[in-house]
Amino acid sequence: MLPGRHGAGVFDELQLQALPCESEWDGSIAYLDRDGVLNTGSPDYINDVGELKVMTGVPEAVGALRRAGFRVCVVTNQSPIGRGLWTDKRLATIHDELEAQLLQADVDAVLDLILYSPHVPWAGSPFRKPEPGMLMAARQLLESSGSIDGFDIEAEFNEARSAMVGDRRSDLRAGKNHGVRVFHAPEQIGLPAVVNRVLDADDEGDDIMSAPV
C-alpha cells in the first residue's frame, strides 16, 4: 500500500535540481496539497488536463519557496485510481501539465517531488491523508535522493522550518501528525494566500479547526 510517485517508481533514484539560492538546503520542505492549493479544485475530481487551472500567483509562490531554500513536495490524495475511474497514466498527464504551467510562469517553480495516494478512504492506508505517511515518505526520499529500498516509520528528522499547506482539515491533520507547521489555504486563492507566512519561521501556523472538513 505504498504511495505513487510521479514519473518514477517510488524508490527510484531522485534527481534533484539545485535550489535557486546561495545557501545549502537546510532540510526545509514545503509539503503542498494539490487541488485548492496549486490549482482550482472540483468536487468531481480533476479528470484530465483540460480541467486543470493553476490559480493566479501560484507559480510565483512556488518559486518564492524554492528561492528561500525550501524543497517543494506535492502530497495529494487521488482515490479515483483506487475507485477504478482512471489510471496512474492519466494522473501522470495531469501532473506533467501542472509542472509545465508552473515553469512557464516562473523558472524557479520546480516541484521537487510529487507523491499521491491512489487508495480509497476505507482502505486504511497510512499513505492517505490525514495519515502522515506521504509526508514521511517525502522526507526520506528527499533526504536520500531516493536511494532507499523502504521507509522507516520510526525515523526522526529536523522539520523546524517545514510546513504543510492544504485547503482541507485532512491536509492539516496530516501535517500535524507529521510534526510540521500547518497552514490553511483558502480554496479559491490557494498557496499565494499563505506563502509569506510559510516563509516566516516565527509563524507557528494554524489550528486544524481553521480548515473545512
Residue 155 has pLDDT above 80, yes or no: no
| 181-202 per-position pLDDT tens digit | 999 999 889 999 999 999 999 9
- Give catalytic status of residue 112 as yes or no: no
Residue 46 to residue 40: CA distance in whole angstroms: 9
Model-wide pTM > 0.85: yes
Residue of 26, 33, 96, 202 marked catalytic: 33
**Residues with Cβ within 8 Å of residue 60, at least 6 apart in sequence:** 105, 106, 109, 192
Q: According to the model, what pLDDT value does residue 156 have?
A: 77
Q: Which domains does the chain have, with CATH numbers?
A: 4-8+24-210 (3.40.50.1000)
Residue of 35, 106, 108, 171 marked catalytic: 35
Residue 104 to residue 115: CA distance in whole angstroms: 22
| 122-134 per-position pLDDT tens digit | 999 999 999 999 9
| Axis-axis angle for helices 133-144, 169-178 (nearest 10) | 50
- Give catalytic status of residue 171 as yes or no: no
